[in-house]
Amino acid sequence: MNLETVCEEVSKKIIPSTEDRMKVERLSQELIKRVRDEAANLNITVNPVLVGSIAKDTWIKTNPDIDIFMVFPRTYTYKEIGELGLKIARKVTGGKGKEKYAEHPYLRAEIEEFQVDFVPSFEISDATELVSSVDRTPLHTAYVKKNLNESLKREVRLLKQFLMGINAYGAEIRIGGFSGYLCEILMMHYSSFPRLLEECIKWEPQHIIDIENHYTNIKEIKKIFSEPLVVIDPVDPKRNVSAALTKQKIGEFKAASKAFLEEPREIFFFPNKIKPFSPEELQNLHGKKGTDTLFLTFETPKIPPDTLWGQIYKSLDALKSFLESKDFKIINKDAWSGEEKTILILELESITIPKTYKHLGPPPGSIGQPPFLKKHTKSDRTVSGPRIENGKWVVELLRQHTRADKLLDHEIRNKIKTLGLGKYIAEKISQKFEILLNTEISNIYLQNPDFAEFLTKYYLGKPNWLLS
């Protein structure tokens, strides 16, 4: 199929029908009325508004999340709107739903098969009055409704579904991808989905998009923003809409864009479901790769998702740096987290390293020679040397640990504070942890389908569109 045919076929699957729209509109308005009524009963001044992709009519048929903002006048305090917002939302939902936390606590509930978020914010007329970042959202919604024409709504939906298909949609830290608002701004700028794909391939580091021309000097923008893509927020020139977008996701987007333009296929939008490896296949893969994979498992901290994933990535980097400082070679790393368990994954060239290693000392005759010789000449750890090689004293020493799993276990039990892990991750690991090697992960793998799918994708090591 050619590109336009593929886009037409995808559009049929993602554009909401009249019935879909009526159902969402009915429930949204009903919930807004209930928020208004409950607030009145509680003598609370608040203006409930529908925001997000449904309000902007850029939502995907299969992903109709409803976002209702409870907009409070600034006569209330920061703390009050969080408490009062939850109080109203619990009344509206009959006590159902889970309390979440962004800048304020908010309530998420499942209502008539829809995920509904009730979020408190302050009423502002422009970004200079900003109290918290969520306050911009009604301004974003108003801007998009005013500036995004009907023909571009299809293009936004195509872009969103494309990004979902390549796992690059979502600005949360776990993903580091494109937000819905960023998709809308990009479509306003590039006018069509295919043109965006063609142009993104040419993006250089710190590519700049400023559709409202807030700035006249590119050098000024580059002084203010350092991210790989800079998209100036139309309603707040001090903000980069793409600040959360990582180099990794930009690279994945460019690669997928080029491949799709060369061979348009629906798999870029709707990737095939991955069938997890059987335990036998997993074991055979380990044998074929010849690497060793460490799995550090612990209880998931009960903290907001962005905080959790920030700590997970920090901890992964710290563990990688620590093991590499001890001469273990890390070839890949990743993490999976569920409600109960989190697993940090470190894949090594080998779980073991030689018993001895070469340690370089000072130049012969230098001020450092006496202490070096005193330390190493009669040390129990010295296997060979000290001797002079290429203008340096050299000694071969015995390692205390030659296995990464044993070393990591020792450090966690005795020196966890020196590893540089995230605070909440370190707390959970210090309470209880387990280090598993290779197929020792099989029990968790068999008991958790989500983790099994994740680990299969990890080992396959390919983008979704290359898995067909």
pLDDT at 103 over 80: no
Can you give the pLDDT at residue 321? Answer: 95
Confidence of residue 285 (pLDDT cuts 50, 70, 90): confident
What is the total residue count of the chain?
468
How many Å apart are CA 187 and CA 180, to the nearest integer?
A: 11
How many Å apart are CA 324 and CA 236, to the nearest integer?
A: 43
Can you give the pLDDT at residue 97? Answer: 86
pLDDT in tens, 37-70: 999 999 999 999 999 999 999 999 988 889 999 9
Confidence of residue 267 (pLDDT cuts 50, 70, 90): very high
Query: 35-41 long-range contacts, Cβ below 8 Å, gap at least 24?
Result: 35/68, 35/70, 35/88, 35/89, 35/92, 35/118, 38/88, 38/91, 38/92, 39/70, 39/88, 41/91
pLDDT in tens, 351-388: 999 999 999 999 999 999 999 999 999 898 999 989 99
Contact criterion met (CB below 8 Å) for 256 and 465: yes
Confidence of residue 101 (pLDDT cuts 50, 70, 90): confident
The tokens for 421 are: 């892990």
How many Å apart are CA 209 and CA 349, to the nearest integer?
A: 42
Q: What is the mean pLDDT of residues 197-213?
A: 94
Please give the angle made by the CA atoms of 207, 144 and 66, to the nearest 5 degrees. 115
pTM of the model: 0.90
Residues in contact with 112: Cβ distance below 8 Å, sequence separation at least 6, in sequence order: 27
Can you give the pLDDT at residue 187? Answer: 96
Can you give the pLDDT at residue 400? Answer: 87
Mean pLDDT for the chain overall: 93
How many Å apart are CA 117 and CA 97, to the nearest integer?
A: 9
Residues in contact with 67: Cβ distance below 8 Å, sequence separation at least 6, in sequence order: 50, 51, 52, 53, 54, 55, 116, 117, 119, 137
CA separation, residue 171 to residues 249, 318, 336, 410 (Å): 10, 23, 18, 37
Confidence of residue 304 (pLDDT cuts 50, 70, 90): confident
Nearest to 180 by CA among 189, 193, 167, 171: 171
Confidence of residue 130 (pLDDT cuts 50, 70, 90): confident
Residues in contact with 314: Cβ distance below 8 Å, sequence separation at least 6, in sequence order: 420, 421, 422, 425
Domains of the chain: 16-141 (3.30.460.10), 148-268 (1.10.1410.30), 279-352+402-466 (3.30.70.590), 356-398 (no CATH)
Of 36 and 132, more confident:
36
Nearest to 298 by CA among 434, 201, 197, 181: 434
Q: What is the mean pLDDT of residues 247-251?
A: 96
Q: What is the mean pLDDT of residues 83-103?
A: 88
